[in-house]
Amino acid sequence: MSNIRDFKVKKPRGRPPADPEREALITAKARAFPDRPRKALVAELKEVLQALGKANLKDDTIERKISDARHSDPQPDDTLWDWDTLKENPLPDDSLPHVIKAWLHAHEKRGRALTIREAKWIARLYRFIDDFDLLFSQCQTLSFMEVMSEVSKAKIDWTPLNISLYEAITKQPISPELRHKLFYGSPDATISQRKWAKGLVDYVQNKLVKGENHDERPHKKQV
């Protein structure tokens, strides 16, 4: 008679398979918050990975990935904005008052300055979104998603963010019927990709932007 133990499924050994969306999220988060302690980032990442239905990793594995991302070559757009950066990254003159306001807003809300990437989005959108808090939120979301797009090996679907931007600019909600058609009827992304993008946009806007710790003090760059 066969031993019942012969029929047990053996657990695979070694590291779990790489998930390109999960890897991109970790890298983007590390790049977006270079001054936040690794352990704090680990806790936030584990929360969002669970919320988005992604397999979690061990704390030390996430810490290592954060360090790897921070040791990689920095992208110019992820460095902090100041007047000197206008030499290489000019902005329209009429956008500068709004960029300065965003610079101060960033210090007040999250204890660190504005990035060049965020300043560029402020300069692009300030004419179209009157509510400054909403403008800042949308530009920070766009910046984060843009980094995700740069570092991801998987397709990033922009439909949920486009819907959010449309409603912010027009101040008109999209009908449920059109929202459903855009979400499920467009062939430019799979349902899985769109659900991932929708969850990510919701996370960025509700946790990363609205849920920031306003009492956070700046830290030295963690590696």
* 218 within domain boundaries: no
Residue 153, pLDDT score: 66
The dihedral formed by the CA atoms of 68, 74, 78 and 81, expressed in degrees to the nearest 10: 140
**Whole-angstrom distance, CA of residue 223 vs CA of residue 206:** 27
* 3 within domain boundaries: no
88-129 pLDDT, tens digit per residue, is 999 999 999 999 999 999 888 877 788 899 999 999 999 999
* 111 within domain boundaries: yes
146-159 pLDDT, tens digit per residue, is 888 888 766 677 88
Q: What range defines the domain where residue 193 resides?
A: 75-209
* 28 within domain boundaries: no
How many structural domains does the chain have? 1
* 10 within domain boundaries: no
Residue 119, pLDDT score: 96
Closest to 81 (Cα-Cα) out of 118, 28, 40, 44: 118
* 49 within domain boundaries: no
Report the predicted TM-score, pTM, of the whole model to 2 decimal places.
Answer: 0.73
221 pLDDT band, cuts 50/70/90, is: very low
* 30 within domain boundaries: no
* 25 within domain boundaries: no
> Which tokens in the block code for residue 166?
């449309």
7-41 pLDDT, tens digit per residue, is 444 445 555 567 777 888 888 888 877 767 888 88
Percent of the chain with pLDDT over 90: 21
Residue 4, pLDDT score: 44
Average pLDDT of the chain is: 78
